[in-house]
Structure 1
């Protein structure tokens, strides 16, 4: 990511530059103290001391915000905020009401750097200190009305942003954990299935091999029968493994929709996809057939059609033969399918026919249109 949020430490040089830019924008509120230094009628010595004080305040503010997220203790952050508050009070009391704006930065820093259980006390405390100092200054009450509300609102807004970012980080970590657990569960399922499929068959093959070995010298006919049984069991085990692998490799329609959307976007094709996937009552074999149809259609769009637009629709329809799920992929390309246009569509038609569905692939006035249909049960 090129940006970094409140409460997060920038990791790269680009993130540091972005965070510095955002902080620099808010420093525009320091125009009042700077204007007071330049045009407030202070003596040269006071101007120098005021400039040094303002520079120290900004430096400490930057250090606090940039170090947020490096594992500092709350006591260290509270000490830093106390230094900022002391600098604000000293500068405002010695140089005038224009410097009261520094308390707004103290309040915002509290919300950005402290957890809410502490910030809910430090933000009102900074605002109360702002009020007390303002009432001590000539004309300070006139500035108080315009600074007290931004101090409270800005501080508590930062607590909300900090909590939102923390929640987002926790959700990402939880999602990664769920994905890892799902992968582990899938590996365990694969191990169980392979054990169930091959454990009995391999044990039987081992047993019959031992029997055949003992029978070979004196009972060749019985040994030949054991070898025939070994061949039969081996063939059946191979069929079971192939069926299991086919089930693992069976594509899912939702996953194919996500993958094809990425493929079309990468190819520069403007795509439109269905908002929902109505798969209630759809058998796995039918869903797999539609997924293969979608993959084949989008592959032709990307590789051969030269299209700039593609529309994918997935709807349920009621026909005379019963309810069907219809997948339609239409593009505005040339309609070409490469050097062997019939191979992919022929295999796809056979796959759909096996699932009880149909395939229609025709050229249109502005491109090519593929429609695949499979029968479905009643929606739950």
Structure 2
């Protein structure tokens, strides 16, 4: 029975998942072994020299011991410090040990051992900071050249070029690893910020939606309660309005949760007129405005501002009169559409801006707009501005 090739490929990807961060110590070990094991091919020259029988028993035993120590130091150094912040003192000492062993073994056993300088160069490129590696790799090549000329290696120049190339190639690999790690961290940060922004958007939407709708439901419930004994027909109309507002609030919340809700200024103006009238506030609200040149995001921000302002008037101000105006103004930053909501009430508790005004400020800043809110001589005034591109007049006043 033959194995499914797709299954075999999936197993290989499970062994070393490409393009993903290591999921375990085993994955990390395999990846480092993949990069480091490539350079073990240069051990063929020293090993072949030892098994050829050219050296005395003492020289052969010393060569094997020296090679074992060299490989052990090399693997310890590179496995532990490749692609990670280095400890300069310890790394410098271990690289110096590699350089000394390569030099001693080359002097004692001959030219084939010059290949050990390839590992010294790889260790410099893999563990040292980039600036230090740029000096250490040519320095290793220089020592190789001097030792090669002393032991009579005819191809010392070719080996010199190879040592420089593989050393700088390893610095490139390390920089790639570090960049990949930083990109993964940045991607995780961006994902976290996006999640936080979405939570903030949802919190703002729910605050604005439910605050306005529940305030209107409360007002109409109070009216229905007062009308019920003497005016059952009017009370029934208020109850019908409560049902309508509740249904619309449910729709708005669903749209806000799914992220598709974009309130319209014309609808909010009409809703403001209803809410203010129901609260017993004399309202001056403009007719349906002309919004030529106003981006949809800007219109939505103004609609949210109007809703929040009217909700505050109804719930906190004890106002008897409220005026809403829409004007186009020329400012130093360009043409803007300005929404003004002014009442003759107390202006609330005076304990500073609440969640609603804070959320409005954030909404307007996202579309390049501004928000001003504070007490005036005879009440409280909120002004929201968003940039626009045309000079078409907007109906204002009552």
- Normalization by structure 2: what TM-score? 0.56
- Give CA deviations for 1:248-304 in whole Å, capped at 9, x if unaligned: 49xxxxxxxxxxxxxxxxxxxxxxxxxxxxxxxxxxxxxxxxxxxxxxxxxxxxxxx
Q: Which of 221, 224, 232 is equivalent to 1:209?
A: 221
Q: 1:22 to 1:194 in 2, by over 3 A?
A: closer
1:162 matched to which residue of 2? 174
RMSD: 3.0
SS in 2 for 1:42: coil
Q: Does 1:54 align with 2:67?
A: yes
- Give the distance between the partners of 2:51 and 2:240, measured in 1 at CA: 104
Q: 1:57 to 1:169 in 2, by over 3 A?
A: same
2:125 and 2:137 in contact (8 A); partners too: yes
2:145 and 2:157 in contact (8 A); partners too: no
- Give the distance between the partners of 2:235 and 2:23, measured in 1 at CA: 74
- Give CA deviations for 1:58-117 in whole Å, capped at 9, x if unaligned: 111111111125654122211111110011111111111221111111011111112211
- Give the distance between the partners of 2:30 and 2:258, measured in 1 at CA: 51
2:127 matched to which residue of 1? 113
- Give CA deviations for 1:222-247 in whole Å, capped at 9, x if unaligned: 44343233223223323433554565
1:103 matched to which residue of 2? 117
1:146 matched to which residue of 2? 158
1:10 and 1:19 in contact (8 A); partners too: no
- Give the distance between the partners of 1:76 and 1:29, measured in 2 at CA: 25
Written as runs of structure 1 = structure 2, the 5 A alignment for 1:167-316 is: 167-217=179-229, 220-244=232-256, 248=260
Paired residues in the alignment total: 247
Q: Does 1:32 align with 2:36?
A: no
Q: 1:220 to 1:189 in 2, by over 3 A?
A: same
2:296 matched to which residue of 1? none
* 5+ long unaligned stretches in structure 1: 250-380
- Give the distance between the partners of 1:172 and 1:110, measured in 2 at CA: 26
1:103 and 1:151 in contact (8 A); partners too: yes
Report the Cα offset of residue 209 of structure 1.
1.9
Q: 1:197 to 1:10 in 2, by over 3 A?
A: closer
Report the Cα offset of residue 204 of structure 1.
1.0
- Normalization by structure 1: what TM-score? 0.58
Report the Cα offset of residue 43 of structure 1.
1.2
Report the Cα offset of residue 122 of structure 1.
0.7
Q: 1:158 to 1:3 in 2, by over 3 A?
A: farther
Q: Does 1:83 align with 2:97?
A: yes
Q: 1:87 to 1:166 in 2, by over 3 A?
A: same
2:213 and 2:245 in contact (8 A); partners too: yes
Report the Cα offset of residue 214 of structure 1.
4.2
Q: 1:37 to 1:197 in 2, by over 3 A?
A: same
- Give the distance between the partners of 2:27 and 2:256, measured in 1 at CA: 49
Q: Does 1:20 align with 2:33?
A: yes
1:32 and 1:98 in contact (8 A); partners too: yes
1:88 and 1:99 in contact (8 A); partners too: yes
1:44 matched to which residue of 2? 57
Report the Cα offset of residue 126 of structure 1.
0.8
2:45 and 2:113 in contact (8 A); partners too: yes
Report the Cα offset of residue 185 of structure 1.
1.6
Deviates more, 1:96-105 or 1:171-180: 171-180
SS in 2 for 1:41: coil
- Give the distance between the partners of 2:64 and 2:32, measured in 1 at CA: 24
- Give the distance between the partners of 1:61 and 1:93, measured in 2 at CA: 20
SS in 1 for 2:155: helix
Q: 1:52 to 1:207 in 2, by over 3 A?
A: same
- Give the distance between the partners of 2:251 and 2:40, measured in 1 at CA: 72
Q: 1:67 to 1:201 in 2, by over 3 A?
A: same
- Give the distance between the partners of 1:37 and 1:83, measured in 2 at CA: 21
